[in-house]
């Protein structure tokens, strides 16, 4: 059965594409190995660490707990897409400015997860930010700087919104 | 790629899924996949076929009718978390929702999947026991209904047969006199509980009746503490804690003795929730 593939058609970062995938290939392996989108990281591969977090049909999911064949017809957005569109540019700058990363392994998943919180609007409290990133491990920063960065961006976005 | 090879088929109806389960003895149903795909990645599970039920229409949805809240098995945790119907008519499930995994997990994971998987430290099996809920399963002989008290048989073992598909979850809608309580202790928000407690009762004005206490993380399945239930009707929380007939085993996080102590701590917190006036 190894080598048996199925045809899928999906949109990744705005680009429509067709692929043949083995059923056992997870979404994150498909993105990294077949599409060379290596921004989504592979950490624990059982849903605990959050390094593989990507958006499927607008909702964040674990790239390691979804099969590529399940994404037939889906719209997938990775950190590459979020970066290129500028959607998370302010978060990326704030992470850098506040040392909210050291090794950077968790950062793509972390950015996707906090953007999911911030795009709901409003300024979440620090507790709410912590709760939202509770499924994303960072072994370097101790999270404090990450919460600082997210809080700063939330406040800045709220100020921009008020001026409009 | 970590999973062992398997074939994949999208079922278009419950009947087709049941038929496929009959043809392939070691096939597994794929719903949200938030536990199954993890076990595939670790090769703890090596099915020859995955039957994806995500495309079956009519298997999700939340409805309040005739004093019952019916939740389709394929309803995602995130949908239940946002549901006004759940918040109003099944407040215990609403309280449990934020404790289940993390946002990205709740976006995929399904209520039916969590119940059919029957992890002994999971929230939803305990909620069903506490609410005296029932499950609807569809098998080769059609639909049948199973009471929650008869559903959870052992460690990851339920009353579902090899060809059964869990299709719906039903709980009685909360009335004016319904009180619910929920608490759990976990190392990290969203992790499986060290110990947890889901409870429901009716207020009689002076005290409580119909108390149902369902602990999780303390045995092979979620467990009702029946002696404590009877004691709590009399309003004596200390006696209810002394009456806790649980014998949890040690696990990687804490000893059984600590779990037993924590179960008492949670019972005190939840008893307070049950006795408070409904907001």
Per-domain boundaries in chain B: 7-52, 65-172, 179-275
Mean pLDDT (chain B, rounded): 96
Identify the pLDDT of residue A163.
86
Q: Per CB distance under 8 Å, which residues of A are interface residues toward B?
A: 1-2, 4, 6, 22-26, 29, 45-47, 50, 53, 59-62, 64-67, 69-70, 113, 116-117, 130-132, 134-136
Three-state SS string across chain B, please?
Answer: CCCCCCEEEECCCHHHHHHHHHHCCCCEEECCCCCHHHHHHCCCCCCCEEEECCCCCCCCCEEEECCEEEEECCCEHHHHHHCHHHHHHCHHHHHHHHHCCCHHHHCCCEHHHHHHHCCCCCHHHHHHHHCCCEEEEEECCEEEEEEHHHHEEECCEECCCCCCEEEEEEEECCCCCEEEEEEEECCCCCCCCCEEEEEEEEECCCCEEEEEEEEECCCCCCEECHHHHHHHHCCCHHHHHHCCCCCCCCCCCCCHHHHHHHHHHHHHHHHHHHHCCCC
Do residues A106 and A146 share a domain?
Answer: yes
Which domain covers residue A62, as residue numbers?
6-82
**CB burial readout B39-75, b (16+ within 10 A) else e:** bbbeeebebebbbbbbebeebbebebeeeebbbbbbb
Q: Is A65 in contact with B33 (Cβ distance < 8 A)?
A: yes
Rg of the Cα atoms in chain A: 16
CB contact B279 to A (< 8 Å): no
For testing contact with chain B, the best of A2, A67, A124 (most B CBs within 10 A): A67
**Model-level pTM greater than 0.90?**
yes
Instruction: Please name the member of A4, A45, A135 whose beta carbon is closest to the beta carbon of B41.
Output: A45
A24 interaction partners in chain B (CB closer than 8 Å): 1, 3-6, 40
Query: Of A22, A46, A70, which is closest to B1 when you measure between CB atoms?
Result: A22
Q: Do A24 and B108 touch (CB under 8 A)?
A: no
Task: Output the CATH code of domain B65-172.
Answer: 3.30.465.10
The reported pLDDT for the residue numbered B225 is 97
Cβ neighbours of A62 in B, within 8 Å: 34, 104-105, 108
Residue A39 confidence (pLDDT): 98
Query: In whole angstroms, what is the distance from residue A46 CA to residue B51 CA?
Result: 20
- Same domain, residue pair A70 and A133: no
| Nearest chain B alpha carbon to A134 | B189
Reported ipTM exceeds the 0.90 cut: yes
CATH code of the domain covering residue A78 = 3.10.20.30
Of A24, A117, A134, the CB nearest to B3: A24
**A106 chain-B contacts, CB cut-off 8 A:** none
| Predicted confidence (pLDDT) at residue B152 exceeds the cutoff of 60 | yes
The span from the CA of B51 to the CA of B7, in Å, is: 9
B113 vs A contacts (CB less than 8 Å): none
User: For residue B24, what are the CA distances in angstroms to A114, B72, B233, B272?
Assistant: 42, 25, 49, 50
Q: Using a CB-CB distance cutoff of 8 angstroms, which residues of chain A are in contact with residue B40?
A: 24
CATH number of the domain encompassing residue A95: 1.10.150.120
How many domains, chain A?
2
CB A133 within 8 Å of CB A110: yes
Most distant pair of Cα atoms in chain B: their distance: 61
Q: Are B159 and B117 in contact (CB under 8 A)?
A: no
**What residues have CB less than 8 Å from B195, skipping those under 6 apart?**
B184, B185, B215, B216, B217, B218, B248, B259, B262, B263, B266
Pick one of 3.40.718.10, 3.40.640.10, 3.30.43.10, 3.40.50.20 as the CATH number of B7-52.
3.30.43.10
Are B65-172 and B179-275 equal in CATH topology?
Answer: no
CA angle B218, B222, B223 (to 5 degrees): 80
Q: Measure CB to CB from residue A25 to each of B1, B33, B188 and give the nearest one.
A: B1
For residue A88, which of A62, A54, A44, A65 has the smallest C-alpha distance? A54
pLDDT tens-digit map of B57-78: 999 999 999 999 999 999 999 9
Say which residues have a Cβ less than 8 Å from residue A123's Cβ, sequence separation at least 6.
A151, A154, A155, A158
Domain limit, last residue, from A61, A82, A103: A82
Tell me which H or E stretch contains A11. strand A6-12
Q: Which residue has the higher pLDDT, B278 or B225?
A: B225
**Both structure tokens of A54:** 């990507």
Task: State the DSSP string of A70-87.
Answer: GGTT-EEE-HHHHHHTTT
Domain contains A1: no
Cα separation, B71 vs B86, whole angstroms: 9
How many angstroms separate the CA of residue A13 from the nearest CA in chain B? Answer: 19
Which of A50, A82, A114 is the C-terminal boundary of a domain?
A: A82
* Predicted pLDDT at B279: 47
Q: How many CB atoms lie within 10 A of CB A12?
A: 21
Same domain membership, residue A45 and residue A103: no
Residues of chain A with pLDDT under 70: 1-2
Do residue A61 and residue B42 have CB atoms under 8 angstroms apart?
A: no
Write out pLDDT tens, residues B109-135: 999 999 999 999 999 999 999 999 999
With CB atoms and an 8 Å threshold, state whether A66 touches B38.
Answer: no
User: Domain ends where: A82, A111, A128?
Assistant: A82
Q: Is residue A77 part of a domain?
A: yes
Nearest CA distance, A163 vs chain B (angstrom): 30
- Which of A22, A24, A49, A132 would best serve as a mutation to test chain B binding (most B beta carbons within 10 A)? A24
Which residues from A are below 8 Å from B104, CB to CB?
A: 50, 53, 60-62, 113, 135
A42 and A104 both lie in a single domain? no
Class of domain B179-275: alpha beta
Of all residues in chain B, the one with the smallest CA distance to A30 is B1
In the predicted model, is pLDDT for residue B277 greater than 80?
no
| Nearest C-alpha in A relative to B100 | A135
Q: What are the tens digits of pLDDT across the range B208-234?
A: 999 999 999 999 999 999 999 999 998
- Residue of B29, B53, B104 to mutate when probing chain A, most A C-beta within 10 A: B104
With an 8 Å Cβ cutoff, is B258 touching chain A? Answer: no
């Amino acid at each position: 059965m190894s080598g048996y593939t199925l045809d899928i058609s999906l949109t990744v970062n705005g680009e429509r594409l067709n692929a043949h995938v083995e059923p056992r290939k997870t979404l994150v392996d498909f993105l990294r190995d077949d599409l060379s989108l290596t921004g989504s990281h592979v950490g624990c591969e059982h849903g605990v660490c959050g390094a593989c977090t990507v958006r499927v049909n607008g909702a964040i999911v674990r790239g390691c707990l979804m099969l590529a064949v399940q994404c037939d017809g889906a719209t997938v957005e990775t950190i590459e897409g979020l970066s290129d569109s500028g959607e998370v540019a302010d978060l990326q700058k704030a992470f850098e400015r506040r040392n909210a990363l050291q090794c950077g392994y968790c950062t793509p998943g972390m950015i996707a997860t906090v953007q999911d919180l911030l795009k709901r609007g409003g300024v979440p409290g620090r507790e709410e930010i912590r709760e939202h990133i509770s499924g994303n491990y960072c072994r370097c920063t101790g999270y404090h700087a990450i919460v600082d960065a997210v809080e700063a961006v939330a406040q800045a976005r709220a100020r921009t919104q008020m001026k409009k | 790629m970590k999973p062992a090879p398997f074939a994949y088929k999208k079922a278009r109806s419950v009947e087709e899924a049941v038929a496929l389960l009959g043809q392939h003895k070691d096939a597994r149903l794929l719903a949200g996949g938030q536990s199954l795909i993890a076990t595939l990645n670790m090769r703890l599970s090596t099915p020859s076929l995955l039957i994806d039920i995500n495309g079956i229409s009519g298997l999700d949805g939340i409805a309040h009718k005739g004093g019952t809240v019916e939740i389709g098995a394929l309803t995602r945790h995130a949908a239940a978390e946002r549901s006004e119907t759940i918040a109003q008519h099944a407040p215990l499930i609403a309280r449990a929702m934020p404790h289940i995994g993390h946002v990205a997990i709740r976006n995929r994971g399904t209520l039916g999947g969590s119940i059919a998987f029957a992890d002994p430290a999971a929230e939803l099996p305990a909620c069903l026991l506490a609410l005296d809920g029932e499950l609807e399963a569809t098998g080769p002989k059609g639909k049948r209904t199973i009471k929650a008290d008869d559903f959870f048989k052992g460690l990851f073992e339920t009353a579902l047969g090899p060809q059964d598909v869990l299709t719906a979850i039903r709980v009685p809608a909360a009335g004016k006199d319904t009180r619910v309580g929920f608490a759990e202790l976990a190392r990290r928000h969203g992790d499986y509980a060290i110990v947890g407690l889901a409870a429901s009762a009716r207020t009689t004005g002076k005290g409580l009746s119909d108390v149902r206490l369902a602990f999780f993380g303390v045995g092979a399945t979620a467990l009702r503490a029946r002696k404590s239930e009877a004691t709590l009707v009399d309003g004596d929380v200390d006696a209810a804690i002394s009456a806790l007939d649980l014998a949890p085993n040690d696990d990687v996080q804490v000893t059984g003795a600590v779990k037993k102590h924590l179960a008492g701590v949670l019972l005190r917190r939840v008893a307070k929730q049950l006795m408070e006036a409904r907001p």
